[in-house]
């Protein structure tokens, strides 16, 4: 929650936003996607290298891109260094290897 506050998310909204961003509601509520987009934009503008790490089914990169939230390289959303999908990688959270992969793509 401290990271959200550092990027301008009011503390009273940080818990709700974090829960939404990591839960099923993210895909159903455009407001949450907009707020996540603002947070990702602020992170990118600050120079922080960002990677998404997801225990997904091989579709998270396509989903994030179709929402216009983020993608690797230029596009509609915020450019990120990588989108790590556990199904694609063959390793899922909390295995440290998935985080090592994210760190590697972030440099």
Residue reference for tokens 């939230």 = 69
> Residue 30: what pLDDT?
57
**32 with 17: CB under 8 angstroms?**
yes
Render pLDDT for 19-30 as a digit per residue (tens, 0 to 9). Answer: 555 555 555 555
Worst-scoring range by mean pLDDT, 2-11, 18-27, 86-95? 18-27
State the pLDDT at residue 82. Answer: 96
Per-residue pLDDT of 35-59, as tens digits, reads 888 888 888 889 889 999 999 999 9
> Hey, what are 40's tokens?
């990702």
pLDDT of residue 15: 62
> pTM of whole model > 0.75?
no
Cβ atoms of residues 53 and 60 within 8 Å: no
């Amino acid at each position: 929650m401290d990271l959200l506050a550092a990027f301008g998310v009011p503390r009273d909204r940080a818990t709700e936003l974090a829960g939404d961003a990591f839960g099923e509601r993210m895909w159903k509520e455009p407001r949450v996607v907009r707020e996540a987009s603002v947070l990702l934009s602020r992170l990118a503008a600050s120079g922080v290298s960002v990677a998404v790490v997801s225990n997904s089914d091989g579709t998270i990169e396509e989903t994030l891109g179709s929402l216009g939230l983020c993608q690797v390289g230029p596009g509609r959303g915020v450019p990120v260094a990588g989108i790590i999908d556990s199904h694609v990688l063959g390793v899922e959270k909390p295995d440290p290897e998935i985080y090592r992969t994210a760190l590697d793509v972030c440099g």
